[in-house]
């Protein structure tokens, strides 16, 4: 066990020494990995925060039940009891035609057309807040409310939420597609980098093989190099992401204040950062593994 740990420790130190000797190239490779990881991650943060904002906006939407003009007070009471007992309705409120008429007349100073109305044209109305916010569930509830006796019209405009949900789903697919393409590009970049390192140390590898070194012994430092490239690249990506989001948050804060909202972009997402780090390390390891195996086969030192 100690021999195995010592073996890995020596390989790790060797990789760090080589990176220190080639600091500029190591930083450039890590920076390229960081930029490639940062691009889809930023799009993901944008889509995720937009989805959260949309969910919040959906909570503010209501289904409006406009009753028939000749509806009786007994019918109104029956509708109110039905709404109170409905499992999918969180809360509701009644605005009578008299209250709506008073509110309308209060706006007569700004709209002269209201002054020309001789009688109250407004119906009694219930405003409903549902438990669920999915557009399909709200539309189903609207149709159910429309069928209640005494209801003239149930209104809820879910079209924009449906369109936005489709756009968000499309955005997620685009993010995955771009991330896959960038992952392939990173595999090529890391693989070529490790391959160049192998070629510069070809004589050393062949001598090591002649004195009895196994392929796993030869392969290990290069695998550690790929892992470190991925880890440093993920660190660059996280720093760049946090910096960019902080810059954008100033503009988002100004826009949110105009709409009396406290919405802000999430700067630190531990799950996202851990996922980025794990993916970057895996890509670095895989690129190195492929490059080392191909180089060993090409040098015919199996």
Domains of the chain with bracketed CATH: 2-57+162-299 (no CATH), 62-155 (3.30.70.3040)
**Greater model confidence, 192 or 165:** 192
Nearest to 88, CA basis, from 147, 122, 45, 131: 131
DSSP letter (8 states) at residue 116? G
**Which residue did the predictor score with more confidence, 296 or 159?**
296
Q: How far is CA 116 from CA 27, 69, 124, 273, in A?
A: 75, 20, 21, 62
What mean pLDDT comes out for the span 2-7? Answer: 67
Within its chain, how far is the Cα of 154 from the centroid? 34
Contact criterion met (CB below 8 Å) for 60 and 260:
no
58-62, 83-87, 98-102: which is most confident:
83-87
pTM above 0.75, yes or no: no
Reduce the DSSP state of residue 6 to 3 states and report it: helix
Tokens of residue 20, six digits: 């220190």
**Diameter of the chain measured on Cα atoms:** 106
Please, which contacts does 215-220 make with residues 24 or more away whose CB atoms are closer than 8 Å?
Answer: 215/296, 215/301, 215/302, 217/7, 218/292, 218/296, 218/301, 219/289, 219/292, 219/293, 219/296, 220/7, 220/8, 220/11
* pLDDT tops 50 at residue 302: no
11-52 pLDDT, tens digit per residue, is 777 777 778 888 888 888 889 888 888 888 888 887 777 776
Helical packing angle, 270-299 and 215-258, nearest 10°: 150
Q: In what order do the strands lie in the sheet with 151-155?
A: 89-95, 125-130, 63-67, 151-155
Angle (deg, nearest 10), helices 215-258 and 202-210 = 140
Q: Which pLDDT band, with edges at 50, 70 and 90, does 232 fall under?
A: very high
- How far CA 178 is from CA of 21, 91, 174, 204, 211, in Å, comes to 34, 43, 6, 39, 46
pLDDT score for 57: 54
Question: What is the structure's pLDDT at 245?
Answer: 83
- Indicate the pLDDT class of residue 85, thresholds 50, 70 and 90: confident
Q: pLDDT band at 198, cuts 50/70/90?
A: confident
pLDDT at 242: 86
Q: What is the mean pLDDT of the chain?
A: 78
Q: Quick one: how many helices (H) and strands (E) in the chain?
A: 9, 4
| Residue 134: predicted pLDDT | 67
**What six digits make up the tokens of 14?**
């060797």
CA distances from 179 to 138, 175, 221, 246 (A): 34, 6, 27, 23
With a pLDDT cut of 90, the percent of the chain lying above it is 4
Tens-digit pLDDT profile for residues 238-277: 999 888 888 887 777 776 665 556 666 777 778 888 988 9
Q: Which of 27-36, 97-106, 178-187 has the lowest mean pLDDT?
A: 97-106
Residues 136, 138, 141, 143: is their CA dihedral positive or negative? negative
Buried b (16+ CB within 10 A) or exposed e, 212-223: eeeeeebbbbbb
User: Does residue 114 surpass a pLDDT of 60?
Assistant: no
CA 126/CA 99 separation, integer angstroms:
12
To 10 degrees, what angle do helices 23-59 and 159-200 make?
Answer: 170
Q: Residue 265 and residue 275: Cα distance in Å, rounded? A: 19
């Amino acid at each position: 066990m100690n021999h195995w740990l010592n073996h890995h420790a020596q390989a790790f130190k060797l990789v760090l020494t080589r990176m220190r000797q080639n600091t500029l190239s190591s930083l450039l490779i890590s920076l390229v990995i960081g930029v490639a990881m940062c691009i889809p991650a930023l799009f993901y943060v944008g889509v995720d925060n937009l989805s959260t904002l949309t969910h919040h906006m959906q909570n503010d939407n209501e289904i409006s039940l406009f009753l028939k003009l000749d509806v009786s007070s007994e019918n109104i009471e029956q509708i109110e009891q039905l709404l109170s007992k409905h499992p999918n309705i969180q809360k509701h409120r009644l605005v009578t035609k008299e209250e709506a008429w008073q509110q309308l007349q209060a706006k007569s100073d700004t709209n002269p057309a209201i002054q020309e109305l001789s009688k109250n044209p407004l119906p009694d109305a219930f405003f409903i807040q549902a438990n669920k916010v999915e557009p399909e569930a709200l539309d189903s509830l609207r149709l159910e409310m429309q069928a209640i006796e005494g209801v003239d019209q149930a209104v809820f405009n879910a079209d924009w939420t449906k369109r936005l949900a489709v756009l968000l789903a499309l955005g997620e697919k685009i993010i995955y597609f771009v991330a896959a393409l960038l992952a392939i590009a990173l595999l090529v970049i890391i693989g070529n980098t490790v391959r160049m390192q192998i070629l510069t140390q070809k004589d050393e590898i062949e001598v090591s093989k002649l004195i009895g070194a196994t392929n796993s012994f030869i392969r290990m430092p290069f695998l550690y190099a790929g892992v470190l490239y991925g880890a440093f690249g993920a660190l660059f990506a996280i720093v760049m992401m946090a910096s960019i989001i902080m810059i954008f948050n100033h503009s988002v804060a100004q826009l949110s204040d105009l709409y009396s909202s406290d919405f802000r972009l999430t700067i630190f997402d531990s799950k996202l950062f851990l996922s980025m780090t794990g993916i970057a390390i895996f890509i670095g390891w895989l690129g190195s593994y492929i490059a080392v195996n191909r180089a060993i086969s090409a040098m015919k030192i199996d």
